[in-house]
Structure 1
Amino acid sequence: MRTDKRLTNRLARAKLRLANASIEDIDFSTHRGLDRRKVLSLAQGARHARLRNACPRHTEIAVPI
């Protein structure tokens, strides 16, 4: 419930032009240098998951005594 309120407040403060925009609304036909596969991959979180698995946050480091 708190996270919903935080998100609502942050979205209101962001003053987004297109508050109801979604990934499906992106027009890839205009030349903007957008790669459809990269955008859709990012939208699915694939890149984030790969990076998180490749570089775990909490890794134990062996310290010689």
Structure 2
Amino acid sequence: MNSHTPDGFRHRYRRSETEPAPRFESMPLSVRTLSSSALFQGEHEIGIEHHGALYRLKITRQGKLILNK
């Protein structure tokens, strides 16, 4: 029988409330940056060809990005 509770699992792997969120500004200046609105141009999915394979980059209903092969 499984003795783990879903709440216990979430608490162990949740980021600490005192841990600072990653800072976008800390990215090196040499990294080319595009806004998602410029990349998607009003669409919710785009295709990316990389080394002969097609990848799909999607915006989810929650506003997150998902990359699928």
TM-score (norm 2): 0.25
* More helix per residue: 1
